[in-house]
Amino acid sequence: MNMQQKMHGNNHYEIGLDHGNVHVFANAEVFQSFEAKVYEMADNNLRIPRNVYMSYTPDAHVGVGTCIGTTAVWSMKDGIVSPSIVGVDIGCGMRVHTTPLHKRDIQDKAVRRALIAAIESYVPTNERTNSHFADIDIMEVVKQGLRGLPSKYVPDNQWITHVEESTFQYDHTYLEHLPPKIRKNARGQLGTLGSGNHFIELQYLEINEASAELAAKWGLFDGQVVIMIHSGSRAWGAMLGREYNKVMKEAMYHWGVENPDPNLIYAPITSKEGKTYLNLMYSALNFAVSNRHMIAFGVRQAFKDVFGPQIETPVLYDLMHNYALKEFHRNQPMLVHRKGATRALPPNHFLNTPVYKETGHPALIPGSMGTSSYIMVGKEEGLKNFYSICHGAGRVRSRRATKEAVTIDQFAQSLRIGTEEEILVNHRSLETILDECPQAYKDVDQIIDSVVGASLADVVARCIPMAAIKGK
């Protein structure tokens, strides 16, 4: 495969491949770490007709069909939609809630252990345990998103307004295409964490001095305890994704459409298969934002149990990093796929949710387990990448390779076990979550440096973990 490299300013490379160009946003160290397979997958993706733009964020790494860390854009008029470039965990994303607490209020390990236990009593972390919110009609949720939840689960209007989208609109008649098993398997999962890289973390903030004024507008302060949640659409999105991979793959066969990667599936937006997938994908986005909402509702109850009924945990923001969304760019509607990529809109951008119109919204970037996460804000220059930034640290080792390469002692050192700064976890044995250790991921600080250096976004606050709750 031929490769030609061009620079467009700091941390912005354009790589010419056989079937088109992919833009890469990374500092020199991260750029050099990309493996050849990443570019091979990009070239396969660029074989898809009428692509307008494709890029990798610095956390990009090999995925199924498409790399995680991809932004890929087509025109809504004659473009393509791809379940492979959305990913299986449709609507997976991040949510942060603030608290009035300071780091010192939960420094005592006994307090943090009490919080972990309380959170686990409201948020099931065992894959075989059903949600505590059995009275919620999931069909109302997949149709109306947050507005389909009973009012008793919405503490105040901020829980509706401080999100990327509270309801994704679509044609509900497409729900008739869903196999009954999807509804059956998703029932009981709303408000559950899931496994893998999903988590709830208790963190404290270090405000970036250059962003102190903005942080104050958002209600953030040095030492503040915040709650970060990472989860997605659970069985609803996973089963829907697998089902329509099969449907589209069969359609591609009948159309005579081939790609060197059999896992790369796509269809025209205007086709029956494309329309069906897009509408059902929005149902999964509604499930995902509602799932994070209900996890956060459970965490709020846990904080009330430990600190008293007067404490509140306001929403800072909720956003997704696995989806395809109609957006207006270059004066026309486009379908922007983000697979492991976060939208980071600048101040005064018309797509901002109203409460963040003036400042730009918080862009929530998790680190790996035991490392810092970040709260960022988009910049005008982000237009060059369709306002996409990283979604996390990005894996460098598979789960199996991590277990073979990293020892329990090394993992324990990463969590600073036995020190005053120990990051408490809800697992009795670190061996069960070894594949999520920091050594499995890229250096998140290098990822953030890449984004800042490319002028895509700025850091508002660094989030330092104090306790982590993982699925079992």
Q: What is the pLDDT of residues 48-92, one digit of tens each?
A: 999 999 999 999 999 999 999 999 999 999 999 999 999 989 999
- Give CA torsion, residues 114, 117, 121, 124, to 10 deg: 140
Which of 20-24, 69-73, 188-192 comes out lowest in average pLDDT? 188-192
Residue 102 bears catalytic tag = no
Q: How confident is the model at residue 397 (pLDDT cuts 50, 70, 90)?
A: low
What does the mean pLDDT of the chain come to? 93
Is pLDDT larger for residue 2 or for residue 332?
Answer: 332
Q: Which of 132, 293, 337, 391 is catalytic?
A: 391
Is pLDDT larger for residue 428 or for residue 409?
Answer: 409
Query: Is 133's pLDDT higher than 90?
Result: no
Beta strands 20-25 and 53-61 are parallel
Please tell me the distance from the alpha carbon of residue 296 to that of residue 314, in angstroms, as a whole number: 10
Percent of the chain at pLDDT above 90?
77
User: What integer pLDDT is reported at residue 294 of this predicted model?
Assistant: 96
User: What integer pLDDT is reported at residue 412 of this predicted model?
Assistant: 72
Question: Angle of helix 272-307 relative to helix 234-255, nearest 10 degrees?
Answer: 170
Picking from 408, 413, 410, 427, the residue whose alpha carbon sits closest to that of residue 467 is: 427
Average pLDDT over residues 255-277: 96
Domains and CATH numbers, the chain: 4-396+441-470 (3.90.1860.10)
Picking from 445, 444, 457, the residue whose alpha carbon sits closest to that of residue 389 is: 457
User: What integer pLDDT is reported at residue 401 of this predicted model?
Assistant: 74
User: What integer pLDDT is reported at residue 434 of this predicted model?
Assistant: 76
Picking from 268, 299, 288, 206, the residue whose alpha carbon sits closest to that of residue 76 is: 268
Query: Is 385's pLDDT higher than 80?
Result: yes
Query: Is 182's pLDDT higher than 70?
Result: yes
Please tell me the distance from the alpha carbon of residue 408 to that of residue 208, in angstroms, as a whole number: 33
Q: How confident is the model at residue 471 (pLDDT cuts 50, 70, 90)?
A: confident
Side chain identity at 317, as an amino acid letter? Y
Q: How confident is the model at residue 46 (pLDDT cuts 50, 70, 90)?
A: very high
pTM: 0.95
Q: How confident is the model at residue 429 (pLDDT cuts 50, 70, 90)?
A: low
- CB-neighbour burial class of residue 1 (10 A; exposed 0-12, middle 13-18, buried 19+): exposed
Query: Is 227's pLDDT higher than 90?
Result: yes
- CB-neighbour burial class of residue 38 (10 A; exposed 0-12, middle 13-18, buried 19+): buried
Q: How confident is the model at residue 428 (pLDDT cuts 50, 70, 90)?
A: low
Q: How confident is the model at residue 270 (pLDDT cuts 50, 70, 90)?
A: very high
E strand segments, 246-387: 267-268, 315-320, 322-329, 332-339, 342-343, 363-365, 373-378
Which of 100-104, 129-133, 452-456, 464-468 comes out lowest in average pLDDT? 129-133
